[in-house]
Structure formats: C-alpha cells, structure tokens
Amino acid sequence: MNFLEERILKDGIVKEGNVLKVDSFLNHQMDIELFNEMGKEWKRRFADKNINKIMTIEASGIGIACIAAQHFGVPVVFAKKAKSINIEGDVYTAEVESFTHKNKNQVIVSKKFLNENDHVLLIDDFLANGCALQGLIQIVHAAGATVEGIGIAVEKGFQMGGKSIRNLGYKLESLAIVESMDWKTGEIVFREQ
Amino acid sequence: MNFLEERILKDGIVKEGNVLKVDSFLNHQMDIELFNEMGKEWKRRFADKNINKIMTIEASGIGIACIAAQHFGVPVVFAKKAKSINIEGDVYTAEVESFTHKNKNQVIVSKKFLNENDHVLLIDDFLANGCALQGLIQIVHAAGATVEGIGIAVEKGFQMGGKSIRNLGYKLESLAIVESMDWKTGEIVFREQ
C-alpha cells in the first residue's frame, strides 16, 4: 500500500452514493507535503517522458498540479470554467459534465498557452466517469499538442473513466485506484498496482 | 523595482477598462518558479507572524497559495464557489462579487477546516475592489480565527480595496501595486514600496 492509499484509509470518508470524501487533505484543505510526495511519484512514473507543460482543470486540480510541476520544472496551464471577460481572443473549448456538481461547464484554454510543440502531462485530483479528463484531452488534441501522460490522485476503478482512457492507449497513472467502497462499514478496497 | 514588477512590465498587457492581463504567468498559465519567489518574499515580510494555515479562494489563488505554503510549512484551505454536494454539514459562507466575471458567488469553507485556534495568512492573485478578500476575512472572523496577514500578488492601487483593508488595520503585503496604467501607451506605474 502506498502513501496515498494509506492516507485515504486514515482520513478518507465513504458516503452513500459512492462518494469518497478526501476534503481534509486533497481538495478543500490541502496537505502540501502530501502533494509533494505525489509529484515525486509522478516524476518517477513519467521519467521516460519529455514533458514541457502540465495542464489541469479548475479548481481542485490546480494545487496538485503546481506542486507536481516543481518536480518537472515546467509551467502549469489550467483550463477555466465558463468565459471570463479577461480571456481574450481565440480559445480552445470543451464541454465538461461534473459528477460532483451535476452540471455542465464550458472549459477553455487560451490558444496562446498551448500549441503543437507542447508535450503535456495532465493532472487532476479525481477520475470517475472521465468527463473532465476527456475535455482536457480534446483541448490538447485541438491544439495539435501531445498528451505524454495523465496523473490522477484518486481513481474510482469501478467507474468507466480510467478503463476507457487506458483503452485509448494513454499512459494513465493513478496513485490510488478504489476498487470498491462500502459506506455502511467504511471499508475501502484498492486495486493492486 | 522587484522581481514581480519587472515581470509585469515584461509580460503584462494593459487593456481598456483598467484590465491588466497577466495570464501568461500568473492566472491562466502559471510560472511556478515565479510563485516560489513570491512565497519566499511573503515569508520574509511575515517572518514575525505565527501562521498555521493559508487560505485562498478558487480558482486563480490556489496555485500561488500552495507554492507559498511550502515556505510556511502549513496546509492551504481554499474557499469554494457555490455549493457542492460533496461539502457536507456546516460551512461558513460569504457572498463575493467578481470584478472579472461581473457576477456574485456564494463562497464557502467547511467548519471542519477553520476554527478559533487558526492563525491565517490570506493569499490571492489580485486585489482590486476587495470583495473577494472581504469575503475571506468575514469567513475567518466567523470561525473565530485570526487574520495574521494578507499576501497579494498584484494590487490595483487606484481602486479602493487595498486602502480600505489597510484602514482596518490588517497587515497587507502586495508584491506589486499598480498606481496607474494606460492602455493606449501600455505604460504601467507602480507605487514605491
């Protein structure tokens, strides 16, 4: 069992409806030392990849992506939800459905910050049905850039997101894959990696 | 002139309507090495403060806050916009008006992550009219916690946010204070610090 799986067992809370709450260390309160360990581990797993940019999506992916970026020595670009008056000119867009918020968002990335020379590592906190990730991949492809890999903190292995992404041939590295969880007992089973 | 002011002169773009675009390094694409310099500088300016938590607001404050937190050795809590089904139980709330997006958001922080023992450094990328910051301060006070200081990357010195916060006695450290800007010439004048 790795450091993130141990932390999930210690501080994660299973709720009815297949909700895993990790808001005490991952996506509301953020444990920066833990993020640093995650960044180090992704660097190890993507050591053979030539990555020049990390991309994530607001909001909870941003902190993890920024700390991880220190291990790669690259900038981070985050996809923004909805249109800001301060985003000018041409943008790449994708429509993303949120499992958590039960709504759809247009996400955008300025064309200034992504082009065909970019070799991108995608980072996010959660992977469930994969909608957010599919939106990011769509944007990277629209830019003519290359997805070198995908780093996820917590994957819900019993939902289809991870499987469909792997089936497409992407190198997807989830630091913890939840195979099953039981809100009545609080039990969490991780996939052997 | 400090490192952030120099960077703004180099890569910032002045737009009509008092808009300063710094999206190539601060709030869309993010220069993590620059954030690290900012964190180091805030640590220097708040060296006399006993800080155990950094708080910010989604989305563009999160990356800066996480990198800065490494210099303080503390966790980060970010205030979330709107209500997520994954936020349970009691939350502190404040209503925040966005200058950029021209709308109002309810921002929330779970009561689990802020209490009367917390000594908080607030971090954000921009300070203009101060609405976001006032919302964060309101939440810290509602928790009975203490605002030890406020670290801002770019303050628009010609708007009222900074002045009103300083008038209330808070230690507000903006790394760059724009005194005036001219979108026709592109000129940016910083306040002497």
Q: CA-CA distance, A127 to A160, in Å (whole number)?
A: 9
pTM for the model stands at 0.95
Q: CA-CA distance, B64 to B152, in Å (whole number)?
A: 10
Report the mean per-residue pLDDT for chain B. 94
Provide the terminal-to-terminal Cα distance of chain A, rounded to the nearest Å.
Answer: 9
User: Looking at residue A105, what is its pLDDT?
Assistant: 82
Contact A101 B113 (CB under 8 A): no
Cα nearest neighbour of B16 on chain A = A86
17-56 in chain B: CB under 8 A from chain A: 19, 21, 23-25, 28-32, 35-36
Q: Distance, in angstroms, between A193 CA and closest chain B CA?
A: 28
Q: Which two tokens stand for residue A112?
A: 């200034």
Cα nearest neighbour of B98 on chain A = A84
Is 90 exceeded by the pLDDT of residue B185?
Answer: yes
**What residues in B contact A75, CB-CB < 8 Å?**
25, 29-32
Give the lowest-confidence range in A137-151, A172-186, B93-107, B116-130. Answer: B93-107
A69: nearest CB among B32, B59, B101 = B32
A81, A84, A89, A92 alpha-carbon torsion, rounded to 10°:
0
Cis bond upstream, residue B68 (ω within 30) = no
Neighbours of B21 (CB within 10 A): 16
Is 90 exceeded by the pLDDT of residue B105?
Answer: no
Q: CA-CA distance, A65 to A35, in Å (whole number)?
A: 9
User: Looking at residue B158, what is its pLDDT?
Assistant: 97
What length is written for chain A? 193
Contact predicate B173/B152, CB 8 Å: yes
pLDDT tens, position by position, B41-70: 999 999 999 999 999 999 999 999 999 999
DSSP assignments along A111-155, one per residue: GGG--TT-EEEEEEEEESS-HHHHHHHHHHHHTT-EEEEEEEEEE
CB-count exposure of residue A116 (10 Å: 0-12, 13-18, 19+): exposed
Tell me the domains of chain B and their CATH numbers.
3-190 (3.40.50.2020)
**What residues in A contact B15, CB-CB < 8 Å?**
88
Q: CA-CA distance, A18 to A100, in Å (whole number)?
A: 11
**What residues in B contact A84, CB-CB < 8 Å?**
100-101
Question: In degrees rounded to 5, what are phi and psi of residue B67?
Answer: -65, -40
**What residues in B contact A109, CB-CB < 8 Å?**
28
**R_g of chain A, CA atoms, integer Å:** 16
Query: Which residues have a Cβ under 8 Å from the Cβ of B135 and sit 6 or more positions away?
Result: B57, B79, B94, B95, B96, B107
User: Looking at residue A83, what is its pLDDT?
Assistant: 59
User: Looking at residue B97, what is its pLDDT?
Assistant: 82
Contact B110 A65 (CB under 8 A): no
Query: In chain B, what percentage of residues exceed pLDDT 70?
Result: 95
pLDDT band at B84 (very low <50, low <70, confident <90, very high): low
User: Looking at residue B100, what is its pLDDT?
Assistant: 64
Tens of pLDDT along chain A (193 residues) come to 999 999 999 999 999 999 999 999 999 999 999 999 999 999 999 999 999 999 999 999 999 999 999 999 999 999 998 755 555 569 999 988 876 667 788 899 999 999 999 999 999 999 999 999 999 999 999 999 999 999 999 999 999 999 999 999 999 999 999 999 999 999 999 999 8
A31: nearest CB among B31, B75, B86 = B75
Q: CA-CA distance, B80 to B108, in Å (whole number)?
A: 5
Q: CA-CA distance, A9 to A28, in Å (whole number)?
A: 18
Q: b/e per residue, A160-182, with b = 16+ CB within 10 A?
A: ebbeebeeeebbbbbbbbbeebe
Give the lowest-confidence range in A51-65, B24-38, B78-92, B150-164. Answer: B78-92
Contact B113 A85 (CB under 8 A): no
Q: Does A80 contact chain B (CB < 8 Å)?
A: yes
Q: Distance, in angstroms, between B36 CA and closest chain A CA?
A: 10
Q: CA-CA distance, A112 to B79, in Å (whole number)?
A: 29
91-150 in chain B: CB under 8 A from chain A: 100-102, 109-110, 112-113
**What residues in B contact A110, CB-CB < 8 Å?**
23, 28-29
How many CA atoms lie less than 13 Å away from A77 in the CB half-sphere?
25
CB-count exposure of residue B25 (10 Å: 0-12, 13-18, 19+): buried
Higher-confidence residue of B98 and A36: namely A36
Q: CA-CA distance, B138 to B122, in Å (whole number)?
A: 12
Is 60 exceeded by the pLDDT of residue B156?
Answer: yes
User: Looking at residue A99, what is its pLDDT?
Assistant: 65
Q: Which helix (H) or strand (E) covers residue B63, if one does?
A: helix B61-72
Contact A28 B59 (CB under 8 A): no
Pairing of strands A188-190, B13-15: unpaired
The identity of residue A4, as a single letter, is L
Q: b/e per residue, B70-109, with b = 16+ CB within 10 A?
A: bbbebbbbbbbbeebebbeeebbbbebebbeeeeebebbb
